[in-house]
Amino acid sequence: MIAAEGICTTRGNLAGISLRAEPGTVLALMGPNGSGKSTLLHVLAGDLAASSGSVRLQGRPLAAWPAAALATIRAVLPQTSQVAFPIQVTDLVAIGRLPHRGLARGGDAEAVAAALTALGLQHLAHRPYQRLSGGERQRVQFARVLAQIWRPPGETSPRLLLLDEPTNNLDPAQRLALMQLVRRLAGQGTAVVAVLHDLTEALNFADHGLLLRDGRVVAGGPIHDVLTPAAIAAAFDVEAVILAGPLGSSHVAVLGEKPAG
């Protein structure tokens, strides 16, 4: 659905990054702070122009998409979202439907209700956004982007979610619930590209991964081929092991700094 080829940037120093994310899959962008993950997501979103390389959405250059049409199939969750005006939760989530206004498909009320339900936010629907905790605000913002790409049951047109650290400010139970939701969205045909700091989350919920360091690719491919002790050591300068957990889960355990030499 979205493919990048040879992406280079001055900001973030990306150097020849290529990737592909297909409908029904989750691609995790990983790496230490400053490795270029968020910069790459900005390029995929069209918010930052690459100095060289190309981005195509459904085979069409990203720059050739009209902004209104792009916003109906692609939604972006930034790392932080500032809201400088008083607004209730329901009304903020409904902002995600603005690109669809005037289109024949309608369904705005259904989309907002479905997004609130998916995030377990029904009880906060009429609460002022400014009175929410950081974790509650994060979930409301996720509901907003979910409402943006909502489709009526049975409609299978492609959708893309670009998520920058979606589990920010969430407690362990909320992190798990949100990543399970991401997995369900992929199961329904959505393509998801997510910046993830938690390598265990990436290992258990992503299909593919791209591991970056200093704007360059350390490893890319199926997630279990990417998150190996050797690749983690090369990206983060730490010694790690992959532990098998119950029900087929895996866990990345960091043992300490990578030995010198």
Average pLDDT rounded to a whole number, residues 119-144: 94
CA dist., res. 166 & res. 258, Å (int):
29
> Do 109 and 93 contact (CB within 8 A), yes or no?
no
pLDDT tens-digit profile of 67-125? Answer: 988 999 999 999 888 887 899 999 999 999 998 876 555 588 999 999 999 999 999 99
Name residue 211's beta-bridge partners: 30, 219
Sheet holding 52-57, edge to edge: 17-21, 2-8, 52-57, 60-61
Tell me, what's the pLDDT at 234? 95
Q: Into which CATH architecture does domain 2-257 fall? A: 3-Layer(aba) Sandwich (3.40)
The letter for the amino acid at 153 is P
Neighbour tally for 56: CB within 10 Å: 17
- For the chain, what is the total number of helices (H) and then of strands (E)? 9, 12
* pLDDT value of residue 147: 95
Average of pLDDT values for 26-42? 96
**pLDDT value of residue 80:** 81
Please report the pLDDT score of residue 19 as a whole number: 97
% of the chain with per-residue pLDDT over 90:
79
pLDDT recorded at residue 106 = 59
Backbone angles phi, psi at 77, to 5 degrees: -105, 110
Q: Which range, of 8-12, 53-57, 106-110, averages the lowest pLDDT? A: 106-110
pLDDT (mean) for 158-165: 95
Average pLDDT, the chain: 92
Residue 190 in this model has a pLDDT that exceeds 60: yes
The reported pLDDT for the residue numbered 261 is 60
For residue 35, which of 62, 58, 57, 12 has the smallest C-alpha distance? 12
Q: CA dist 90 to 19, 169, 229, Å?
A: 35, 21, 44
Q: Measuring CA to CA, which residue among 161, 145, 81, 61 is closest to residue 111?
A: 145
- φ, ψ dihedrals at 69, nearest 5°: -70, -40
